[in-house]
């Protein structure tokens, strides 16, 4: 049976004091329990070759933790490293599994953490920490850099950081040993757009912008390590239903379908991708209260409802075959299986 591992926020949500009972949860089917106490592990990734998870604590002094799941019934903390930044919110594991990259929301830094082939930390400190400067027009969210996501650019020669605070995509050339070299700004987005998360398909980058609620398609140029916006569309046509504002969240591609989670509207939007990569909005469905992160796991779509303190599991076939909306802003209803988990922030699945 597939095991779902969830990093969670404090029960009172993002911004509440860390270390108040949150941590790593294990879910099998509809049974779920907390298995480790960790301060706000808001993003979790699994090593591809050894039974190790990495979780980043979204705290003022960020640490990344290595957790052995060799015995999935008794996960064990292997070690922790202070990352050199504040409010780490996203992790990327290198293709060879020997380097971990950490994006920090509060400080805007990108940290490089070397790993051993066993999955353990190679050093007790980052090999590199890259800071950044700048701001954006939104004084409440863009007073400074806010690195929200780090991922490979098409071709894997560069990493790209989505900086919500400066409306930029930052480029870093990847050396063979996993260390990085700053390589300028790959793209400057419209002022106040707030780039948050992206997914790559072929030579295209699909970027969710949290502050102006747009899905932007960018074409990557490998020679110059830059990207150009070629299309944009609102992340959803559904109305806001909860919270004080709309907060776009995660994005992923499943074949020729692109999915975007939108908090406040509390939906996942479904876009169709043409052979050339053009994204066409199809519909949106109710995904539960505050859908922060989701993942495709086998034949299901698993969605974490951060403020709903629940996880919803949808049949992936139902999602991919969702009929087009019959009127603008319509919200479809799909059957789902619900499991209670406190403040789920991120999922990773292992066999």
Please identify which residue in the block is written with the tokens 């052995």: 68
Domain that includes residue 86, residue range: 3-247
Residue 127 lies in a domain: yes
pLDDT of residue 5: 98
In the chain, the percentage of residues whose pLDDT exceeds 90 is 96
pLDDT of residue 13: 76
Residue 350 lies in a domain: no
Compute the half-sphere exposure of residue 317: CA atoms within 13 Å on the CB side of its CA.
1
Into how many domains does the chain fold? 1
Rounded CA separation 86/104 (Å): 6
* Interval 95-145: pLDDT, tens: 999 999 999 999 999 999 999 999 999 999 999 999 999 999 999 999 999
Residue 349 lies in a domain: no
At 319, give phi and psi (nearest 5°).
-70, -50
Rounded CA separation 261/213 (Å): 11
Whether 146 and 209 have beta carbons less than 8 Å apart is answered as no
pLDDT of residue 322: 98
pLDDT of residue 207: 99
Rounded CA separation 137/184 (Å): 21
Q: Which two tokens stand for residue 132?
A: 């950044």
pLDDT of residue 11: 83
Listing DSSP states for 163-179 in one string gives ETTTTEEEEEEEPTTS-
Residue 318 lies in a domain: no
Q: What is the CATH number of the domain that holds 129?
A: 2.130.10.10
Rounded CA separation 242/277 (Å): 32
Residue 283 lies in a domain: no
DSSP state letter for 85:
S
Residues 6+ apart with CB under 8 A from 244: none
Residue 243 lies in a domain: yes
User: From the CB of residue 169, how many other CB atoms can be counted at a distance below 10 Å?
Assistant: 24
Residues pairing with 163 in the sheet: 147, 168
pTM listed for this prediction = 0.97
Strands 257-263 and 267-273, sheet pairing? antiparallel
pLDDT of residue 183: 98
3-state helix, strand, coil in the chain (%, to 5): 0, 55, 45
At 317, give phi and psi (nearest 5°).
-60, -40
Residue 292 lies in a domain: no
CA distances from 194 to 93, 154, 189, 305 (A): 24, 22, 8, 22
Residue 133 lies in a domain: yes
pLDDT of residue 17: 85
Whether 95 and 87 have beta carbons less than 8 Å apart is answered as no
pLDDT of residue 248: 98
Averages of pLDDT over runs of 10 residues in the chain (351 residues) are 95 80 95 96 97 97 98 97 98 98 98 98 98 97 98 98 98 98 98 98 98 98 98 98 98 98 98 97 98 98 98 98 97 98 97 89
């Amino acid at each position: 049976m597939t095991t779902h591992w969830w990093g969670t926020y404090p029960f009172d949500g993002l911004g509440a004091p860390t270390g108040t009972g949150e941590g790593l949860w294990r879910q099998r089917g509809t049974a779920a329990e907390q298995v480790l106490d960790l301060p706000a592990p808001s993003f979790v990734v699994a090593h591809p070759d050894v039974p190790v998870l990495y979780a980043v604590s979204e705290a003022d002094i960020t640490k990344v933790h290595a957790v052995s799941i060799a015995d999935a019934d008794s996960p064990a903390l292997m070690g922790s490293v202070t990352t050199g930044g504040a409010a780490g919110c996203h992790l990327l594991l290198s293709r060879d599994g020997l380097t971990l990259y950490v994006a920090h929301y509060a400080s805007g830094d990108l940290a490089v953490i070397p790993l051993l082939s066993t999955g353990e930390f190679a050093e007790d400190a980052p090999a590199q920490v890259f800071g950044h400067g700048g701001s954006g027009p939104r004084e409440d969210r863009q007073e400074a850099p806010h690195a929200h996501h780090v991922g490979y650019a098409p071709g894997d020669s560069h990493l790209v950081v989505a900086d919500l605070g400066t409306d930029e995509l930052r480029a870093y050339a990847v050396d063979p040993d996993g260390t990085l070299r700053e390589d300028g700004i790959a793209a400057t987005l419209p002022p106040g757009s707030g780039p948050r998360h992206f997914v790559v398909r072929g030579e295209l980058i699909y970027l969710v912008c949290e502050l102006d609620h747009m899905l932007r398609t960018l074409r990557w140029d490998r020679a110059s390590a830059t990207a150009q916006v070629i299309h944009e569309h609102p992340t959803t046509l559904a109305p806001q239903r909860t919270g004080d504002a709309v907060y776009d969240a995660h994005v992923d591609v499943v074949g020729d379908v692109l999915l975007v989670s939108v908090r406040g509207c509390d939906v996942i939007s479904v876009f169709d991708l043409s052979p050339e990569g053009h994204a066409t909005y199809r519909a949106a469905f109710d995904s539960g209260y505050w859908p922060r992160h989701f993942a495709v796991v086998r034949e299901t779509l698993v969605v974490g409802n951060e403020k709903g303190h629940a996880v919803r599991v949808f049949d992936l076939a139902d999602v991919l075959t969702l009929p087009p909306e019959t009127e603008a802003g319509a919200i479809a209803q799909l059957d789902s299986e619900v499991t209670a988990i406190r403040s789920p922030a991120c999922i990773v699945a292992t066999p």
